[in-house]
Structure 1
C-alpha cells in the first residue's frame, strides 16, 4: 500500500465531497485488500467537513460535519460520500468519536436485535476487542443479557474486555467456550463458525454479521434446534433508514450520558495505512483503528 497524489473528486447527484478528518478501518476492507489481486478501491467509515454538495443535495450544507460509510475511495483526504449514507456529528464530538461509534454501534445494535436477546440470556460475543465487538459487549448487556462472555484471539486482551463489562473471557483456541449460550454474536466467521454453532444451547441463535464466511453443518442446528441469522447493515440502511436514524440518535445519547463507551486503539497517519491493516490482521487491536489524513 502506498500513498499517491490525485485530483480531488467531484461530487455527483446526491453526493457530498467531504474533507476527511478520520477514516475507520474495517475488517471487511482489510480482508479485501489481502485477498484481492491487483489494485482495488477501499471503502470505510469516514468523518469530516462538507466542502461541496452535488446536485439534488438539500439536507446538508457546506461547513457541516458529517460521518458515513463510503463504499469506494475512502482512504483519501477528500472523499465522496452519498448523502443518503451521511449523518451529522454532534458539536461536542470529534471525527474520531464518530467513526468509532456510528457504524460499529449500528452493526452491534442490529446484531443484538437480530439475536432477540431476552432478559437473562447467556450471550457470547466473538471479536469482542474489535470496534464492533467492544460495543456489542455493552449493548448485549443493555438488551438484558444475564451473562456476557467475550471471545478474543489472545488472553492478553482479557483485562480490556472485562473492563467493558464482560463477565468472562475465552480465547479461540480454548477447548471449551463456556457454553451453552442462548445467543452468539459472531463477527469472525470462517473456521470459528463451527465452534460458535456448537457453543449454542437448545433453541440458541447465532447472528453472523462478519465478512469471514464459513460453513454450518445442518446436523449441528438440528441437534440443538438452533438457528443462524445473517445480519448486514446495508439492508437496514437502505430498507429502514428511519430505524437507522433512531438507533443512531440513541447511540449518541448513550455516549453523551456515559452508558456506552467507545474504544480507539490508535490514530494512524493515512500514509501509513498498511500499518493499520497489520494491526487488525495480527489481531493486536483493542478497539477501533482510525486513519487520520
Structure 2
C-alpha cells in the first residue's frame, strides 16, 4: 500500500511516498481502507517545528476490512470514521474502535472527515465557554475546519453576536455565509471588543489580544496547539477566566459524552443546521501540498487527502 513518511530534514516538503505492507488490527482496533484523510493544523505544526520524524495522525473515513480481538459494534464492510494516531496518511489505517463512529448512508467519506473530529473540537470548545443566550462570541481561525463549525454552533446555540476573526480580508465573505455577523482581522486594533466568550484556535501571539478583547467576566477558551502565554493581570482586571480544552480528555474520560456529541453532530447535519466546508481534495501522494495550504493559512474549510 501507499504510505506517506516524514523525514527529519526540513518541513512539509520532506514527505516521502513509499510502498509498505498493510498494518494489522490489534485488540480493540479496526483496519480501514481509507477513502478520505483529514489534514489538521496540529499535525502540520509538528512537522514544521519538531526535532524528529513525525508519524502522522488524523481523521480517517473509509470501509472496515478487518477487526481486532474484542471489537464489538463494527463488522467488515461498515463505513466508519475515526481518529488514527499513527500512520494516518496511508491507503489503509488502524483505528481505535473507541474513537470510531459509523458514517450514515447519505454522507460521503469526505463529509465524515470534515464533520466529526473538527465538529467535536468545536462543540467541546463551545461547551467549555458556557455560552449563554444573547452573549457575544468571537471565533479565531474562523475560516479553518474547526472555526467554520464553531461559528455555526455559536449561532445555533443562541449567541447574540457572532464575530469571526481571520488573518486576511479575502476570507470575510466566506465566514459570513457561515453565520458571522461581523468579521475582524488579527491586525485590527481592538477586534471589535468586548466579547463574553472567545473561542481561540490559534494561540501564540494572539492570546494577548484575545484576553484584552474580553468583557468583564468573559471566558477565553484555548484549544489550539499554538502555545503562548497570558498575563495574569489582564485576566484579573477583567474578572475573566481562561479555559483550556482538549478533545482527548473527553474521549478518554467521558466516552458517553463523546458518543453523544458524535450522534448530535450527524443529527445537526441531517437537519441542515450544521454544514461542512471543504477547501480542497488533494491526492494522498501530494500530501506536502496539503500541508503547505494549511501552513500558509490559505484554506477555507477542511483540507482532505484522497488515497
- In which range does the TM-score fall when normalised by the shorter chain? over 0.9
Alignment-derived partner of residue 8 in structure 1? 22
Alignment-derived partner of residue 225 in structure 1? 239
Shift of the alpha carbon at 1:176? 2.0
Indicate yes or no: 2:230 matched with 1:216.
yes
Indicate yes or no: 2:282 matched with 1:268.
yes
State TM-score, norm by structure 1.
0.99
**Structure 2 counterpart of 1:82, from 86, 93, 96:** 96
Shift of the alpha carbon at 1:58? 2.0
The number of residues matched between the two structures is: 293
Structure 1 CA distance for aligned equivalents of residues 193 and 125 of structure 2 = 19
Match of 2:237, SS state, is: helix
Can you list the C-alpha shifts for 1:13-59, whole angstroms capped at 9, x where unaligned? 11110000000001100100111134220100011000011111122
Structure 1 unaligned regions, length at least 5: none
Alignment-derived partner of residue 49 in structure 1? 63
Alignment-derived partner of residue 29 in structure 1? 43
Indicate yes or no: 2:295 matched with 1:281.
yes
Which stretches of structure 1, 4 residues or longer, exceed 4 Å deviation after superposition? Answer: none
Alignment-derived partner of residue 126 in structure 2? 112
Structure 1 CA distance for aligned equivalents of residues 77 and 58 of structure 2 = 21
Shift of the alpha carbon at 1:141? 1.2
Indicate yes or no: 2:93 matched with 1:72.
no
Alignment-derived partner of residue 99 in structure 1? 113
Alignment-derived partner of residue 185 in structure 2? 171
Structure 2 CA distance for aligned equivalents of residues 58 and 156 of structure 1 = 47
State TM-score, norm by structure 2.
0.94
Structure 2 CA distance for aligned equivalents of residues 287 and 243 of structure 1 = 25
Shift of the alpha carbon at 1:242? 1.1
- RMSD of aligned C-alpha atoms? 0.7
Structure 2 CA distance for aligned equivalents of residues 256 and 175 of structure 1 = 39
Indicate yes or no: 2:121 matched with 1:124.
no
Match of 1:52, SS state, is: strand
Structure 1 CA distance for aligned equivalents of residues 263 and 77 of structure 2 = 21
Alignment-derived partner of residue 272 in structure 2? 258
Indicate yes or no: 2:300 matched with 1:292.
no
Can you list the C-alpha shifts for 1:220-241, whole angstroms capped at 9, x where unaligned? 0001000000000000011111
Indicate yes or no: 2:148 matched with 1:139.
no
Q: Report if the CA contact (8 A) 2:190-2:209 is conserved.
A: no
Can you list the C-alpha shifts for 1:181-222, whole angstroms capped at 9, x where unaligned? 000000000000110111001000000011001001000000
Match of 2:86, SS state, is: coil
